């Protein structure tokens, strides 16, 4: 198993860790969990930094995080972005291709192990999921194609049915919940070949999620639109900058404590996606 001395993560809200609370007012997320897995699986100490900020498009990640990440001299770099581009009214896939090529190629030329993944939208619970599937598929095709060109490691979540299980998604129907982040970290650890991890993260969750009746589904969709979609749309209309006021999550590399490797999540599994009990917004 290859050992790493410094891991740096760049990206948007997914890499920042929304919606996986750390119990201290912040977010944990798959990147933090992956760093813990790496530290627990190797003898050498691992330093970890996370420069992700919610709401950024791929070009913004490249322009504001990529050079800073390279300056930290990582030997492992996770790069993920593009979903915010796909959700925008106008989506420039040519620009996204250029951004992926620039980041993947330069990082690999420096001998850095680069890890990324494809994504899905929870079409079973997100009212706009089906309308945006085409864009997400195009984004995933870009990731696969360019990653293959430059030897970037990929976890192709689009190919795994578990990725669309509604029990993995937060109330905003866009971000993964704590269980989702835990499974993602296990999948990425498996892709890196860490000891103690296998493909068991992809096993279907026990039982089937409860199917809502039509009236319950409509009520839930209205509640979601009021609590999450309307605030997100309002920010776009007012042109509120993405990640406004949010600082880089973990800008200085610090040594991770060792944690026992665990290839399968152990969180309690809800019977269906929860109805929000608090106000929030899509980020």
Interatomic CA distance for residues 264 and 218, integer angstroms = 34
Instruction: Report strand pairing: 250-255 vs 47-50.
Output: antiparallel
Residues of the chain with pLDDT under 50: 216, 218, 222, 224-226, 228-230, 232-234, 236-238, 260-283
280 part of a folded domain: no
Output helix, strand, coil percentages for the chain, rounded to the nearest 5: 45, 10, 45
Backbone angles phi, psi at 201, to 5 degrees: -60, -25
How many structural domains is the chain composed of? Answer: 1
197 part of a folded domain: yes
232 part of a folded domain: yes
pLDDT at 111: 98
39 part of a folded domain: yes
264 part of a folded domain: no
Sequential DSSP letters for 51-119: ---TT--HHHHIIIIIHHHHHT--SEEEE---HHHHHSSS--HHHHHHHHHHHHHHHHHTT-EEEEE--
pLDDT at 227: 53
pLDDT (tens digit, 9 = 90+) per residue, 40-90?
Answer: 999 999 999 999 999 899 999 999 999 999 999 999 999 999 999 988 888
Q: Which long-range CB contacts under 8 A does 144-150 form with residues at least 24 apart? A: 144/118, 146/97, 146/100, 146/101, 146/104, 147/104, 147/114, 147/116, 149/101, 149/104, 150/101, 150/104, 150/105, 150/108, 150/114
Residues contacting 40, CB < 8 A, separation 6+: 258, 259, 260, 261
- Contact (CB, 8 A) for 94 and 58: no
**Cα separation values, 281 from 165, 170, 229, Å:** 21, 11, 7
270 part of a folded domain: no
pLDDT at 148: 98
Q: Calculate the CA dihedral of residues 89, 94, 97, 103 and round it to 10 degrees.
A: -90
76 part of a folded domain: yes
pLDDT at 258: 74
pLDDT at 89: 81
Question: Which structural domain, as residue segments, surrounds residue 148?
Answer: 6-255
pLDDT at 222: 47
pLDDT at 132: 76
pLDDT at 233: 47
Query: CATH code at 37?
Result: 3.40.50.1110
Q: What angle do CA 99, 186, 47 make, to 5 degrees?
A: 65
pTM exceeds 0.75: yes
275 part of a folded domain: no
């Amino acid at each position: 198993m290859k050992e790493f001395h410094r891991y740096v993560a760049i990206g948007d809200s997914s890499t920042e860790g929304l919606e996986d609370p750390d119990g201290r007012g912040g977010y944990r997320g798959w990147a933090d969990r992956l760093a813990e897995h790496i530290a627990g699986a190797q003898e050498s100490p691992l330093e970890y930094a996370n420069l992700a900020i919610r709401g950024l498009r791929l070009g913004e990640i490249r322009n504001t995080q990529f050079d800073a990440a390279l300056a930290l001299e990582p030997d492992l770099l996770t790069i993920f972005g593009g979903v915010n581009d796909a959700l925008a009214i106008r989506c420039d896939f040519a620009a996204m291709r250029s951004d992926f090529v620039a980041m993947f190629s330069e990082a690999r030329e420096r001998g850095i192990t680069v890890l990324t993944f494809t994504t899905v939208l929870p079409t079973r619970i997100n009212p706009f999921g089906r309308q945006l599937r085409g864009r997400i598929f195009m984004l995933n095709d870009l990731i696969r194609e360019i990653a293959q060109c430059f030897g970037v490691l990929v976890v192709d979540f689009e190919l795994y049915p578990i990725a669309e299980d509604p029990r993995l998604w937060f109330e905003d129907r866009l971000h993964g919940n704590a269980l989702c982040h835990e499974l993602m970290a296990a999948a990425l650890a498996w892709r890196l070949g860490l000891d103690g991890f296998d493909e068991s993260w992809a096993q279907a969750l026990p039982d089937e999620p409860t199917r809502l009746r039509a009236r319950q589904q409509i009520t839930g969709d209205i509640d979601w639109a009021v609590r999450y979609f309307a605030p997100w749309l309002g920010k776009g209309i007012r042109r509120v900058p993405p990640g406004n006021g949010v600082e880089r999550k973990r800008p200085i590399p610090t040594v991770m404590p060792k944690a026992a490797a665990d290839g399968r999540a152990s969180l309690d599994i809800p019977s269906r996606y929860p109805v929000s009990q608090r106000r929030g917004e899509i980020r």
